[in-house]
Amino acid sequence: MDDSLNHLLPFLLRPQNVARYEEGVVVIGDRRKYPFEQAFVHCPDVESAAQAIEQMVTQGGGPWQVAVLALAMAARQAAGLSADEQRLRLEQARTRLVRTRPTNTALARRLDEAMTAANQAIDRGEPAEQAILDWFEQTRTAIYRDYRVRAEFGAGLVADGDGILTMCFAETAFIMAMALAWQSGKRIRVYTPETRPYLQGARLTAPSLHELGIPVQVIGDSMPAYLMSRGMVQKYFTAADLVTLDGHVVNKIGTFQLAIAAHYHAIPYFVFSWGPDRKSPTRDSIVIETRNPDEMKQCRGVPTTSSDIDALYPAFDITPPHLVAGIITEHGVLSPYDLKRYFG
Amino acid sequence: MDDSLNHLLPFLLRPQNVARYEEGVVVIGDRRKYPFEQAFVHCPDVESAAQAIEQMVTQGGGPWQVAVLALAMAARQAAGLSADEQRLRLEQARTRLVRTRPTNTALARRLDEAMTAANQAIDRGEPAEQAILDWFEQTRTAIYRDYRVRAEFGAGLVADGDGILTMCFAETAFIMAMALAWQSGKRIRVYTPETRPYLQGARLTAPSLHELGIPVQVIGDSMPAYLMSRGMVQKYFTAADLVTLDGHVVNKIGTFQLAIAAHYHAIPYFVFSWGPDRKSPTRDSIVIETRNPDEMKQCRGVPTTSSDIDALYPAFDITPPHLVAGIITEHGVLSPYDLKRYFG
């Protein structure tokens, strides 16, 4: 990886701290424990890697990296077997890994691409593990280059003195955009809703911005509209778990509620995305992951209500295109109504 | 108190569990620990009662009761002194108690009325303590009668099959309204945002409704808009800490954000209130209490971010009248634009 990005990347987003491959073991930065601990989870097989994704050890740009490295692990463990048996083992691993995140189709797409590289290597009688790792390294380098391009577009939208609202942990492109804006002398202030139940805003976004020296304040998930009404917010930025070809944005639950509040206050909402999912033409094609409601009844392991009370935990929501001012892609800040022209 | 309301009142809202006077000691139901413990805080003097209000031992309809009972305690402790000295002590107590809640002007208004009763007793050479306690009992009985009247109006707004959204702990009139609707055979379901940072929705509202047998689910503060978009919410009800004469609603932070989301989805928003504050003509007259930001960095004592991160904690927000479908008062469900006619 290119070290020249390090002044734009906090601890959490440096590639080696997201996920890495150590002699057939996938090592994952544990975002559940950050910032209280800088811990890593070691996964020696596909099942433990899949469970790590399901248990939210990583999120955002992490799951696809873990999934592809887990596929390399499956290839390594099948290395001595026949070509057919290797293909079967890889297919089993792929199926298990895709199941970890039904909403985020980027994970499935990247696994398919890595599978293609692996199968081509098997056809040639070469080690599939190395082919997957080569594909991974190449793809990750391209992705960080893409982050940088989108971060420049994002920073260009920020004005000196802006109050910036975000939601959850909008990851590398957003953090880089804020770093570029700040380092170019724009005096910004970022408000990060804590993002219940897993507190990604309080635990990941706020400490990452703080580490880069950018003024940031944690707020409750119910506070953004009030800040907007006081003139404290000029722009709203999030990432997206998925964008449909017709411009619907799927992201962490709460994103939609804040997009409505932003629209009410005439505040533009911008979305960092590497582009729409060609397999998701409209909102009807989206599967919203519903997680175990018990996760909504605790905060860092402490109960928040009686054990006999019911709860609900839809993990994502859908923001319609008329609430979106722009989708920030490698092609620029696009209208959500114009994605087909670039990605269709 | 009238026991006939008990089938409409959960543990938390029965008068003796809100605040009571035991031989010169104010005993307060500790809502910070509910539902994990049914604990009470004993306050032997005005300062400890004031601190109990500030530390959120009680909230909603509780603080004014604690404040007036604390005033009775001050009167008891000054009982042997000259009339002038008694008045001075009461005035000192009042000043301290008003300072506990700058946003909720009902507390100040009720303290003034109790002061009047006390001063009249002192003029007559009678015990001020008993005059305050008599005024308290009379006022509380009238208030529970008023709760019942407003609960009937509220229940009348609910249709069979409704999904009901609320925020924070909308207290007696709301809980009674849901109980009346449910007991009359309307199959309702209530969604209670947990209400960070103190979790009143998860800890107080949900268990209170559950105790009365009403279906209820805890959700995150960022989830209501998603539920609305799925057609799961038909009505939105909250209490109000203050309503201005021109129809602005001051309530727990987050109320405004959900009112915007409800308006976007064409869902009516109703507010239980005992009427506007005549001393608050417009939103400019409102003082929003900003609480210690450290309170936003924990959940039940567990840290939610690094200690070196800044936070913000405005405790209330203001919802403008055009987002309010009706203010539920003893006079009926009033337009927020028509309050002056009844209360001006």
Over range A11-24, report the average pLDDT. 95
Q: What three-state secondary structure class fits A93?
A: helix
Total residue count of chain B as it appears in this document: 344
Q: Does B290 touch chain A (CB under 8 A)?
A: no
Q: Quick check: A1 and A140 in contact, CB under 8 A?
A: yes
User: Is A314 in contact with B195 (Cβ distance < 8 A)?
Assistant: no
A194 and A235 inside one domain: yes
pLDDT at residue A3, rounded to an integer: 63
Mean pLDDT within B245-249 = 97
What CA dihedral angle connects B110, B12, B36 and A301, to 10 degrees?
-70
Distance between CA B29 and CA B41 in Å, rounded?
6
Residue A251 and residue A320 in one domain: yes
Cβ neighbours of residue A27 closer than 8 Å, sequence gap 6 or more: A19, A20, A21, A40, A41, A42, A43
Cα B292 to chain centroid, rounded: 20
Do B174 and B138 lie in one domain? The reply is: no
Number of domains in chain A: 2
Q: Is residue B190 part of a domain?
A: yes
Domain assignment present for residue A228? The answer is yes
Name the closest residue on chain A to residue B204, using Cα atoms.
Answer: A305
- Determine contact: B314 vs chain A, CB below 8 A: yes
* Residue among B45, B112, B162, B241 flagged as catalytic: B241
Residues of chain B with C-beta less than 8 angstroms from the C-beta of A34: none
C-beta of residue A209 within 8 angstroms of C-beta of residue A164: no
Q: pLDDT per residue over A240-250, tens digit each?
A: 989 999 999 99
Residue B80 inside a domain? The answer is yes
Q: Within the 148-167 window of chain B, which residues sit less than 8 Å (CB to CB) from chain A? A: 167
Question: Do A85 and A197 reside in the same domain of the chain?
Answer: no
Most B CBs within 10 Å, among A11, A222, A308, to test the B interface = A222
Subunit contact A309:B216, Cβ cutoff 8 A: yes
Q: Which domain holds residue A165?
A: 157-343
Query: Does some domain include residue B150?
Result: no
Q: What is the pLDDT of residues A101-141, one digit of tens each?
A: 877 778 999 999 999 999 999 999 999 999 999 999 999 99
* Boundary residue ending a domain (B118, B145, B172): B145
* Subunit contact B220:A221, Cβ cutoff 8 A: yes
- What element of type H or E holds A63? helix A62-77
Nearest CA in chain A to B320: A229
Do residues A116 and A197 share a domain? no
Domain limit, last residue, from A145, A169, A195:
A145
Whether residues B139 and B161 share a domain: the answer is no
Chain centroid offset of residue B222 CA: 22
Q: Which one of A112, A145, A178 terminates a domain?
A: A145
Identify whether residues B164 and B141 lie together within a single domain.
Answer: no
Respond yes or no: is residue A241 known to be catalytic. Answer: yes
Q: Can you give the CATH number for the domain in which B235 is found?
A: 3.40.50.10470
Contact B300 A302 (CB under 8 A): yes
Query: Is B216 part of any domain?
Result: yes
Q: Does residue B152 fall inside a structural domain?
A: no
State which amino acid sits at residue A206: A
In a domain, residue A116? The reply is: yes
**Minimal Cα distance from B254: which residue of A?**
A222
Residue B254 touches partner A, C-beta closer than 8 Å: yes
Do residues B165 and B241 both lie within one domain? yes
Identify the DSSP state of A277. Answer: B
Cα–Cα distance for residue pair B64/B111, rounded to 1 Å: 8
**Cα separation, A135 vs A138, whole angstroms:** 5
pLDDT digits (tens, 9 = 90+) for A193-239: 999 999 999 999 999 999 999 999 999 999 999 999 999 999 999 99
Same domain, A123 and A207: no
Inform me whether the C-beta atom of residue A108 falls under 8 Å from chain B C-beta atoms.
no
Q: In this structure, what token pair is assigned to residue A156?
A: 């260009």
- Tell me: pLDDT of A335 over 90: yes
Confidence of residue B287 (pLDDT cuts 50, 70, 90): confident
Q: How would you classify the pairing of strands A163-165 and A40-43?
A: unpaired
| Residues B260 and B134 reside in one and the same domain | no
All residues of chain B having their beta carbon less than 8 Å from the beta carbon of residue A191 are: 312
- Pick the closest to residue A104 from A268, A279, A271, A224 (CA basis): A279
Q: Identify the three-state secondary structure at position A64.
A: helix
Report the SS3 class of residue A213: coil
Residue B189 host element (H or E): strand B189-193
Q: Are residues A41 and A168 in the same domain?
A: no
Q: Which of the residues A36, A166, A223, A256 would you substitute to probe the B interface, choosing the one with the greatest number of B C-beta atoms within 10 Å? A: A223
**Each residue of B120-155: pLDDT tens digit?**
999 999 999 999 999 999 999 999 999 999 999 999
Across the interface, of B196, B206, B254, the residue whose CB is closest to A305 is B206
* B128 and B243 fall within a common domain: no
CATH of the domain at B79: 1.20.120.420
**Would residue B151 count as lying in a domain?**
no
Question: What pLDDT does A2 receive?
Answer: 55
Give dist(CA A19, CA A54) in Å, integer. Answer: 15
* CA B291 remoteness from chain centre: 17
- In sequence order, the 6+-apart residues with CB closer than 8 A to the CB of B315 are B103, B252, B253, B288, B289, B290, B291
B312 neighbourhood in chain A, CB within 8 Å: 191, 217-219, 223, 227
Q: Which of residues 68-97 of A touch B (CB under 8 A)?
A: none
